[in-house]
Structure formats: structure tokens, C-alpha cells
């Protein structure tokens, strides 16, 4: 059986930051398109002018590119079905709204906001669900035309059937059946001539030849309206896939603004723009959020290319997934281990630069194999490896004193270390370690004490990558200088 190339789209509104839920929707749409040899499209749904946030569109595009979810058509790169920004397509929607009015499937509505508010209030007082009361639904077309000609402001509402039921089919959830009398006549074109989502998205999905609509489950409520609009035009329906929602880590409800800010304090974020700063890799982020809502083994480590290979829409699950940041750490660390040394080097550089450290490429390539296993996030390279690039380290004097010893004894160890290191023509770790082992045996100090003094002296910190390998990379002269410095600190104590 040949697979039809899918055309999928990610259709965010530029009303805020690109968040994990959006990134995952984009990922699934991307995976399906790539898996089937189709196209992945970015469409900006910016018809709600009041909610548009300057810069949000750019952030979406930057975020998708950072994640590697490169779209084949979009507002900044164009494509055969553009424009891809809805505010640039208003005539298209107006023409379609007119078609529906001409066919008796929609009607102009002249009700003012004041009147609608009053009706809503009365309905709520009567404990009824607020809905449009249908005042303009039965206006004679001539009468409506006259009022439009007189310059009266109007919206266009979709005329929902009153009888029977609507059956809408979601690929993950099956048939959703609703009695039409429960449906409301929604506005599809606003007084400013711009469409609402209901019309714009249906028109665009059709005009852009979208085969699979993947969107958040918050659209399930208006799903019956949407299928009615598509059917009113006589169009084929796309395959509808309403994705699960993300819940906060406790699994109770969605993440609030405050909880999102709290996550930031712990070094996590639900916004894609923060992920790079926090040291996450696009591979780790995608693998992590890709598995939330996709029925493969929880621990499946996959690159994006491997996800493309394994992706099927049948394996998506509709149940909500709780965000688990520890799993993000796990996937991030795992993907860091999978990168080539050269690739990882290029990714670490900006973090060293951010700390004002001048990175030497040869040193970077040598130190990566000994720090890689210790990195959960990319910025961990600072705590494990900044000492490789510092001119000098400033050890905390207290930390130079080995456990169970005093400053004098620690200074003795440091002086011996200086002697042992200077006796070596080179300090490859194979050569430099054995003399220290003999010293441990002969001196009566234990290994922890000897290596502890040396470690703090050379790296400036108590925890470091393997000591002798580190010293080899730093080089004999610098190590001697640092040990000398430690001796003077200890002798002054």
C-alpha cells in the first residue's frame, strides 16, 4: 500500500511564548509530513489583533529552527499556497464568508455588543448556557442588504443546523456525536472584516491542502462547529487529531504562570526560548516532549530522524501527560552522550563565552571526553570545566586543607606534589599518577588527602573530572604554577 504524502501544519497564534505543548504539536506534524514524504507548513494565525504580541512570531520561527523543525512553507520563506500569515489573507476569508451567506449557510448579524451582553446576562440569570438568541438568523436577505448599505456594523454568523446530530470523527478519539440543538451560531467574520479562528483555519486548511489537522484538545469544544463549516463548503475533511494536553508535574491541572516561573528557578522551563539558555539540547527537548503522548516505551532514546522513522499517528495517545522535568534531564544527558566530540565542542563554546572564558579549541576537544559523562545540561560544562580555560584558579584556602589534616600537613603534601610533578618531563596521566600512588603508600597520608590537596590546587574545586587526565590537558607548567600558588596560600595560614 502506498502512503499518501501528508501536508501538515503548525498554526500558532502569535500571542505569547512558544511553549512545550506547541513544540510537541509542531513535532508530530513535522514527523508525519517527513515520514510520508509530504510537507510541513507554518501558518501564523494572527487575526485576533488585540492579542497579538510583538516579537512572538519571530520567537516561534526561531524556536522551530532551534528545534530543527524546519518548515517547507511559511511566512518568511513563502510557498505555493501563501501568504501564510492570516492577516494577509483577509479577502480570501471575506469571499468565503460571502459564499456561505449566498448559500444560506451564514448570515449577517447586526446585534450590538451591548445587546449581546444583555442577552447573555439574562440567560445566565435564568441559569441557561449563554448562546446567541438567533435574532438576526431570520432577517430577510433584502433587509440585511439594506442595513449593510446604510453602513450599519455587522458580523457574519454561521448558521448551525437546528435539527439532528453532528458526528465529528477524531482519529484518536473516534466519533464525537452532538445534538445540533446544543450548537451555537458562532461569529465567523468580525465587524473589522477579519475572520475568527473558526472560519480562517477551515478555509486555510482547505486552501493549503492540509491532509491532517493536529491541534490541541482545547479545540474539541468547537470541533462540531468546524466540521459543519467544512461540510457547508462541500469540502473533504482532513483527518482530525486532537492531541492530549500537558499537565503540571503533579498531574493536577495545567501549569500556571506562577508554576512556570517556579520551574525556571529550578533550571527548567516550559518555554522553548529558555531551553537553550538553560543548557538543553534540541534533541533532548524533542525526545522528551515527543514521548509525552506517543505510545512508545517511556525510555526510548531517539534522534529526530529516528522519530521520523518510527512515527505513526495510530500510536498517539489522547490521555493527558504530566510534565516530568527529571525525564528531560535524562533525555538531555543521554543525547549529550550521543553527540560527536566536534559537535559537542561547538555547542559548549557559547556557554564558556557567556562566562567570559576564552576557549582554546585543542583544549576543548581534549577535555570533552573526560567531562561528557558528567553533563546533564550543556551549561554544566562551566562547573566541570571552566578551570581548563582560566589563567589562574583561586582555590578556597579552607578547601586546600585536606580532611583530617591541618594547613601545615597540607602544605607538605602540596610541596611534595610540586616535587613529583616537576620531576616529570611530561605529565601524561599514565606517567604522573604512579609516583603519587607510591607517595600515598610511603607517606601515611591517604589517597583522598593527597589527591584532595592536588585537586583543589590545580582545578580550584573539590569536584572535578579525573585529576591526572585533567592535569595532562592543562599542561605541566600551568599545573606547577597552580600548585606553587597553593603552597604559598597554605604556608601563610
Per CB under 6 A, which region of 7-15, 146-154, 367-375, 472-480 contacts ligand GLU?
7-15
Buried/exposed code over 203-223 (b: 16+ C-beta within 10 A; e: otherwise): bbbbebebbbbbbebebbebb
> What is the number of alpha carbons within 13 Å of residue 55 lying toward its C-beta?
3
Q: Is residue 224 at the binding interface for ligand GLU, with CB under 6 A as the rule? A: no
Residue among 360, 155, 324 at smallest CA distance from 147: 155
How buried is 186 (Cβ within 10 angstroms: 0-12 exposed, 13-18 middle, 19+ buried)?
Answer: buried
Q: Which is nearer to ligand GLU, 223 or 389 (CB)?
A: 223
Q: Is residue 13 at the binding interface for ligand GLU, with CB under 6 A as the rule? A: yes
Q: Identify any residues that bridge with 322 across adjacent strands, giving them in sequence order.
A: 247
CB 468, min distance to ligand GLU, A: 55
Residue among 414, 407, 370, 410 at smallest CA distance from 388: 370
Q: Which is nearer to ligand GLU, 76 or 373 (CB)?
A: 76
**What positions carry a catalytic annotation?**
257
Q: Identify any residues that bridge with 178 across adjacent strands, giving them in sequence order.
A: 166
Q: Is residue 89 at the binding interface for ligand GLU, with CB under 6 A as the rule? A: no
Please, which of residues 37-76 interact with ligand GLU by CB under 6 A? 45
Q: Which of 31, 97, 201, 420 binds ligand GLU (CB under 6 A)?
A: 201
Q: Is residue 12 at the binding interface for ligand GLU, with CB under 6 A as the rule? A: yes
Per CB under 6 A, which region of 5-13, 59-67, 88-96, 306-314 contacts ligand GLU?
5-13
Q: What is the rounded CA–CA span in Å between residue 426 and residue 366? A: 16
Q: Is residue 29 at the binding interface for ligand GLU, with CB under 6 A as the rule? A: no
Q: What is the rounded CA–CA span in Å between residue 112 and residue 22? A: 35
Q: What is the rounded CA–CA span in Å between residue 384 and residue 372? A: 10
Q: Which of 17, 215, 416, 482 binds ligand GLU (CB under 6 A)?
A: 215
Please, which of residues 252-281 interact with ligand GLU by CB under 6 A? none
Q: Which is nearer to ligand GLU, 9 or 372 (CB)?
A: 9
Q: Is residue 379 at the binding interface for ligand GLU, with CB under 6 A as the rule? A: no
Q: Within a 10 A sphere around the Cβ of 81, how many other Cβ atoms?
A: 17
Task: With H, G, I as helix, E, B as strand and everything else as coil, classify residue 240.
Answer: strand
Per CB under 6 A, which region of 8-16, 103-111, 231-239, 406-414 contacts ligand GLU?
8-16
Q: Which is nearer to ligand GLU, 215 or 482 (CB)?
A: 215
Give residues in contact with ligand GLU (CB under 6 A). 11-13, 45, 201, 215
Amino acid at each position: 500500500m502506498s502512503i499518501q504524502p501528508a501536508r501538515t501544519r503548525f498554526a500558532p497564534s502569535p500571542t505569547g511564548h512558544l511553549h512545550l505543548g506547541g513544540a510537541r504539536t509542531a513535532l508530530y506534524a513535522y514527523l508525519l509530513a517527513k515520514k510520508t514524504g509530504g510537507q510541513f507548513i507554518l501558518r501564523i494565525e494572527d487575526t485576533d489583533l488585540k492579542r497579538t504580541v510583538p516579537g512572538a512570531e519571530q520567537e516561534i520561527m526561531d524556536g522551530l529552527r532551534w528545534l530543527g523543525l524546519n518548515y517547507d512553507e511559511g511566512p518568511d520563506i513563502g510557498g505555493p499556497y501563501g501568504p501564510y500569515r492570516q492577516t494577509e489573507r483577509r479577502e480570501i476569508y471575506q469571499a468565503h464568508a460571502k459564499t456561505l451567506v449566498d448559500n444560506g449557510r451564514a448570515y449577517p448579524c447586526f446585534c450590538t455588543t451591548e445587546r449581546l451582553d444583555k442577552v447573555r446576562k439574562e440567560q445566565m440569570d435564568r441559569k441557561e448556557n449563554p448562546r446567541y438568541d438567533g435574532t438576526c438568523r431570520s432577517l430577510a436577505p433584502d433587509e440585511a442588504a439594506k442595513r449593510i448599505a446604510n453602513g450599519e456594523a455587522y458580523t457574519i454568523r454561521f448558521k448551525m443546523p437546528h435539527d439532528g446530530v453532528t458526528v465529528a470523527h477524531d482519529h484518536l478519539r473516534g466519533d464525537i456525536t452532538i445534538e445540533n440543538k446544543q450548537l451555537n451560531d458562532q461569529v465567523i467574520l468580525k465587524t473589522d472584516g477579519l475572520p475568527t479562528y473558526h472560519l480562517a483555519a477551515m478555509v486555510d486548511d482547505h486552501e493549503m491542502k492540509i491532509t491532517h489537522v493536529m491541534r490541541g484538545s482545547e479545540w474539541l469544544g468547537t470541533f462540531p462547529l468546524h466540521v459543519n463549516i467544512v461540510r457547508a463548503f462541500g469540502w473533504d475533511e482532513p483527518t482530525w487529531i486532537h492531541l492530549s494536553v500537558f499537565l503540571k508535574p503533579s498531574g493536577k491541572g495545567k501549569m500556571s504562570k506562577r508554576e512556570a516561573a517556579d520551574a525556571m528557578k529550578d533550571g527548567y522551563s516550559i518555554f522553548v526560548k529558555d531551553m537553550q539558555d538553560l543548557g538543553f539540547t534540541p534533541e533532548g527537548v524533542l525526545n522528551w516532549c515527543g514521548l509525552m503522548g506517543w505510545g512508545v516505551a517511556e525510555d526510548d532514546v531517539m534522534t529526530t530522524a529516528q522519530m521520523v522513522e518510527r512515527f505513526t499517528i495510530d500510536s498517539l495517545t489522547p490521555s493527558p501527560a504530566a510534565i516530568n522535568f527529571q525525564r528531560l534531564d535524562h533525555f538531555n544527558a543521554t543525547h549529550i552522550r550521543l553527540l560527536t566530540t566536534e559537535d559537542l565542542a561547538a555547542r559548549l563554546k557559547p556557554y564558556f563565552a557567556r562566562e567570559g572564558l576564552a576557549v582554546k579549541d585543542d583544549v576543548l576537544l581534549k577535555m570533552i571526553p573526560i567531562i561528557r559523562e558528567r553533563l546533564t545540561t550543556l551549561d554544566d560544562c562551566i562547573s566541570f570545566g571552566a578551570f581548563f580555560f582560566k589563567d589562574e584558579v583561586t582555590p578556597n584556602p579552607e578547601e586546600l586543607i585536606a580532611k583530617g589534616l591541618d594547613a601545615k600537613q597540607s602544605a607538605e603534601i602540596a610541596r611534595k606534589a610540586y616535587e613529583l610533578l616537576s620531576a616529570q618531563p611530561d605529565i601524561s596521566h599514565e606517567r604522573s599518577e604512579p609516583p603519587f600512588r607510591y607517595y600515598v603508600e610511603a607517606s601515611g597520608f591517604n589517597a583522598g588527602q593527597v589527591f584532595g590537596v592536588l585537586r583543589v590546587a590545580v582545578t580550584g574545586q573539590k569536584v572535578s573530572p579525573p585529576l591526572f587526565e585533567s592535569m595532562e590537558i592543562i599542561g605541566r607548567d600551568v599545573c606547577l604554577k597552580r600548585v606553587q600558588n597553593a603552597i604559598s596560600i597554605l604556608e601563610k595560614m
